[in-house]
Structure 1
Amino acid sequence: MTPVPGGVLVDGELTVVGRIVHASNATLVCDVSNDDETLRCVYKPVRGERPLWDFPDGTLAGREIASYLISEALGWGVVPHTVLRDGPFGPGMVQRWIDTPDHRPETGDRADLVDICPPDAVPQGWIEVLRAYDADDNEVSLVHADDPRLHRMAVLDVLLNNADRKGGHVLEGVDGAVYGVDHGICLHEENKLRTVLWGWAGQPIGDDLLADIDTFTGTLDGDAFSTRLAEHITLREVEALRERAKTLLATPVMPLPEGPRTIPWPAF
């Protein structure tokens, strides 16, 4: 469940050490320190959020916090520890950095759980999501691993109504866990699910995940957790989250893509 308030992410001193330049919004790499601990983290100040036509200005950091709280309430631990706090450039989202294994192509190991490859080279145990053509007019396949850790993330994205699950937002940590990052455009009341994780579309959701969703729905029906979420998203968005959870319980099948914009662009 949600960690006890406090700790180095909340009250440590933030020192900027770099910037992720390809991110859509201002995304700073920081060290956060107190007398006992130093952690690497990501800091996204609200003032650095790029305006979007369909999400209210200045709400992306709060959506990241709400997504973390939901992941923790489910007991899934998909979203790294995330807090809302002040920093060098004002209030913003601060999230624990996830260390990932080094990729060594000479070993044949795959570094990512989502990838692009030739259609005749889809690895065993992987799922093909779609075929397209690259910039050189070569046919390629968008694929992802058939991994229960990734499946759980895909179910979480349905609950979060994640509008931007890119392949680069899926991280396998050195601890063996799989994490999802960049949840700023989630939890809209209208259906906006865009993801690269369509491999389980139309397939049943496992009983273990459904049991967690059932417990979560009970938590969401209580005033305390709903009130906490309402600090970051609107009451209508909280209600839409509740309806998505109940829909999954009533029809425990992964949804099918709807409409022309069901995969984020770029996909990575």
Structure 2
Amino acid sequence: MGVPAAGPPQGRRLPLDPIDGGGLDAPAALDLLRRGELTVSARLADASNATLYCDITAGEVAGRCVYKPVRGERSLWDFPDGTLAARELAAYEVSAYLDLGIVPPTVLRDGPFGEGMVQLWIDTDVTVDLVALTRSDDPQLRRIALFDAVINNADRKGGHLLPAPSGRIHGIDHGVTFHTEGKLRTLLWTWRGRRLLAEETALLGCLREALVGDLGDRLAELLTVAESGALAARVDRLLDEGRFPLPSGDWPPIPWPPF
């Protein structure tokens, strides 16, 4: 798993600025996450599932990461047990293929408490007001809003946005995604109903093609056939309608708590 050799060009920014990733770029981070030794340092107590802060080392290379073991996932009424880690990786795969730089480098691997998701720790700019940020029309948030519509993110809280020192805004916590039913819940409704830009339409077109190629093959290892089909259908619907989705009357549009 990892960033594919080729994908649609999305500008000049690196997928991961080393200033945000503890000095690591994306390839170095993925290599470390795959083969490094995990040492659990703390548990993030405000997370609903077991979320462990770890140091990770491989030779002279060291970093920090988040480890979410599958056995620590809390059962949900609407998602199959033991699938959240795979959904986190699926979200990374989509972000990485499209060169969006939203989801930090992520892998599935064994750890101290069994298989789980391991994701690079991202440093944040603590001077940024998250409430003000989520109410802004920052173009990076627009890109995240479109990404969430694609992956059917049921839990885009304000605290799941990480404004980093480089100025990039990362998104984390993508365990409740890719459901076959429409479950989009987010704070990022600023662009609801707005027309897609030409570059956004081109991005979705690239994704639609990729879903019947290598990206689709990778996602097939992480999602069910029905979930992969629903993903393709969402992309088609966005392209057909040419607009950001509107909140659904059948599902709460904003997560609770919102932060």
Report the TM-score, using the length of structure 2 for normalisation: 0.87
Which shifted more, 164-173 or 247-256? 247-256
What SS does structure 2 have at the residue aligned with 1:7? helix
1:132-159 per-residue CA deviation (whole Å, 9 max, x = no partner) reads xxxxxxxxxxx52110001000000000
1:243 match: 233
| Cα distance, 1:204 vs structure 2 | 1.2
1:187 match: 178
Q: What CA distance in whole angstroms lies between the structure 1 residues aligned with 2:124 and 2:218?
A: 31
Match of 1:156 among 144, 147, 156: 147
Q: What CA distance in whole angstroms lies between the structure 2 residues aligned with 1:4 and 1:247?
A: 33
1:106 match: none
Match of 1:55 among 63, 79, 100: 79
| Structure showing greater Rg | 1
Matches within 5 A, 1:1-268: 1-2=3-4, 7-103=31-127, 111-112=128-129, 114-115=130-131, 144-222=135-213, 224-259=214-249, 261-268=252-259
Count of matched residue pairs: 234
| Cα distance, 1:173 vs structure 2 | 1.0
Q: Which runs of 4+ in 1 moved over 6 A?
A: none
Equivalent position amino acid for 1:32 in 2:
I
For structure 2, list consecutive stretches of 5 or more residues without a partner in the other structure: 5-25
Equivalent position amino acid for 2:101 in 1:
G
1:120 match: none
Which shifted more, 1-10 or 18-27? 1-10
Q: What CA distance in whole angstroms lies between the structure 2 residues aligned with 1:258 and 1:61?
A: 26
For structure 1, list consecutive stretches of 5 or more residues without a partner in the other structure: 104-110, 116-122, 127-142
Contact kept in structure 2, 1:75 and 1:212, CA below 8 Å? no
Structure with more of its chain in strand, by fraction? 1
1:115-145 per-residue CA deviation (whole Å, 9 max, x = no partner) reads 1xxxxxxx7xx7xxxxxxxxxxxxxxxx521
Equivalent position amino acid for 2:66 in 1:
V
What SS does structure 2 have at the residue aligned with 1:43? strand
Q: What CA distance in whole angstroms lies between the structure 1 residues aligned with 2:198 and 2:52?
A: 39
Contact kept in structure 2, 1:194 and 1:261, CA below 8 Å? yes
Higher relative contact order (CA 8 A, sep 6+): 2
- RMSD between superposed Cα atoms in Å: 1.6
What is the identity percentage for the equivalent residue pairs of Structure 1 and Structure 2?
50
